[in-house]
């Protein structure tokens, strides 16, 4: 067999080995990225269990609506800097701002996060939106990542109008279970 034939076979063999190595490297990078997302997600989920965050959530749910009726309270949101003792709700805005940033940049997988938290994202966006609107009068671009996260959560809700329960999976008995046509 001529030398050109063996040279071509060697070149093709090298190409196959390099291609296979590149594919294997991409698969490994994908798995590495996914394994790195899990600790990030777990730390965010753990954050919501901390007593000070639970207190903050209770403030936003129970006290914020009545506080927002005060002109003085609303005016405090336009001050630079805002008094965080008077406006603890901004801490929750900042938490969701960070989470939105992590989701937006892929540090936390959007599907993993929204699968369990889309409802809370929309709930707290709705509760905090009046606060954000006032703050944005003097700082127009604050909490954009929170807004992004809320927009993604809204899309999640629209994509899953009947919920996200796996079709065909058995349901637990109970009066409030919604039945779907399957």
- pLDDT per residue, tens digit, the chain (182 aa), is 777 777 777 787 777 777 767 676 666 666 555 566 677 777 888 888 899 999 999 999 999 999 999 999 999 999 989 999 999 999 999 999 999 999 999 888 999 899 999 999 999 999 999 999 999 999 999 999 999 999 999 999 999 998 888 888 888 888 566 555 44
Q: Find where tokens 């777990």 sit.
A: 42
Question: What distance in Å separates the CA atoms of residue 93 and residue 100, rounded to the nearest whole number?
Answer: 10
The count of other CB atoms within 10 Å of the CB of residue 81 is: 5
Q: Quick check: 128 and 93 in contact, CB under 8 A?
A: yes
The count of other CB atoms within 10 Å of the CB of residue 99 is: 23
Question: What distance in Å separates the CA atoms of residue 159 and residue 153, rounded to the nearest whole number?
Answer: 10
The count of other CB atoms within 10 Å of the CB of residue 88 is: 16
Q: Find where tokens 């936003």 sit.
A: 60
pLDDT at position 178 is 58
């Amino acid at each position: 067999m001529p030398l050109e034939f063996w040279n071509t076979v060697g070149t093709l063999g090298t190409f196959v080995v390099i291609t296979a190595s590149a594919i294997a490297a991409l698969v490994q990078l994908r798995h590495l990225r996914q394994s790195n997302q899990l600790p990030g997600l777990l730390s965010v989920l753990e954050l919501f269990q901390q007593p000070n965050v639970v207190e903050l959530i209770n403030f936003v749910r129970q006290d914020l609506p009545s506080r927002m009726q005060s002109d003085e309270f609303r005016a405090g949101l336009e001050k630079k800097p805002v008094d965080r003792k008077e406006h603890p709700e901004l801490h929750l805005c900042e938490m969701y701002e960070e989470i939105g940033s992590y989701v937006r940049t892929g540090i936390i997988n959007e599907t993993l996060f929204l699968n369990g938290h889309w409802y809370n994202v929309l709930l707290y966006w709705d509760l905090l939106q009046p606060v954000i609107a006032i703050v944005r009068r003097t700082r127009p671009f604050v909490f954009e990542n929170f807004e992004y996260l809320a927009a993604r959560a809204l899309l999640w809700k629209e994509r899953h109008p009947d919920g996200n329960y796996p079709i065909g999976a058995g349901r637990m008995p109970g009066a409030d279970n919604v039945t779907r046509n399957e």
